[in-house]
Amino acid sequence: MIRKSQMALPSTSTITKFAGALLAATVLAAPAQAGVVRFNADYSMPVVHGDTWVESGYQLVFDAYNSDADSNTAVGSIIDGSDPWPCVDMACPIGGDGSYYGAFNDSVVWLSSATQGAQFQLKSIDASFIGAFPDLGTYPALSGLLRMQAFRADNSYEVIDLPLFGPGANGFQFATYDLLEPYASMNFVEIAMFGMVCNASLSCSAFDSNQGQFAIDNIVLAEVPEPASAAIFGLGLMGLVAGARRRKANANVNA
């Protein structure tokens, strides 16, 4: 896991030629293992600092931002959308797809492959703001941001902000965010996700109010094959091509 000291967590934000060619093409076309994290659960369950969720070959670790947190510190919940209990006195999204994860109290979600060090791509994610108060009239049109700090294998990173809009007449709702290029084709080893809360002036802050809360679901990911695997795949394809040529040559001779 990337150490917290390596995170940029700002407090505020404003809105042979043939063989070579064949191998290169093979690397680009090498299959990626796709997976979707849906947080499928039959009932709501609380989540504390350090808990881990593993699904579809990926893992999420849930952390409190407070360095003094211990294993009893609540950071969120796997929420059954039909169960109102986890969101008593808050404003959670409505109309979700079954269960989802709700991150509470400025907490951080760490996403990585369950295979240590494996690279992956983030394709899309469903997300919503979670309000700290049930009164829907207290939230601005842009209620928050879901900030994702996505680390590469060399510890460099991209910062991706997704806008979390205010509630409709009936409450907050999930939106699907399809990552656009170049981000959807970037390879990462770990992504830190945290919420920022915004005011009517579009000034957004994190880790200073316990109101940086968000819900996530249906995280679509694609695992990037290791170069050695892609090379083996390429050599196999080259063998198939050579075999086809030999069969064609033999057919011409026999004719």
- The CATH number for 140's domain is 2.60.120
Is 8 a member of any domain?
no
Q: 149 and 243 share a domain?
A: no
pLDDT of residue 45: 95
Distance (Å, rounded) from C-alpha 89 to C-alpha 144?
19
Q: 59 and 110 share a domain?
A: yes
Indicate the pairing of strand 12-14 with strand 142-151: unpaired
Q: How many C-beta atoms lie closer than 10 Å to residue 243's C-beta?
A: 10
Q: 218 and 232 share a domain?
A: no
Q: 69 and 39 share a domain?
A: yes
Per-residue pLDDT in tens (0 to 9) along the chain, 255 residues: 554 556 665 545 544 333 333 333 333 434 456 899 999 988 999 999 999 999 999 999 999 998 888 989 999 999 999 888 899 999 999 987 799 999 999 999 999 999 999 999 999 999 999 999 999 999 999 999 999 999 999 999 999 999 999 999 999 999 999 999 999 999 999 999 999 999 999 999 999 999 999 999 999 999 998 765 444 445 454 555 555 555 555 555 455
Range of the domain at 241: 228-255
Distance (Å, rounded) from C-alpha 210 to C-alpha 70?
17
User: Which of 220, 179, 218, 219 minimizes the C-alpha distance to 81?
Assistant: 218
Q: 167 and 245 share a domain?
A: no
Is 19 a member of any domain?
no
DSSP-assigned beta bridge partners for residue 101: 78, 216
Is 7 a member of any domain?
no
The total number of structural domains that make up the chain: 2
Q: 234 and 189 share a domain?
A: no
Q: 136 and 194 share a domain?
A: yes
Q: 196 and 239 share a domain?
A: no
Q: 217 and 240 share a domain?
A: no
Q: 215 and 253 share a domain?
A: no
pLDDT of residue 68: 86
pLDDT of residue 29: 39
Is 18 a member of any domain?
no
pLDDT of residue 34: 80
**pTM exceeding 0.85:** no
pLDDT of residue 127: 98
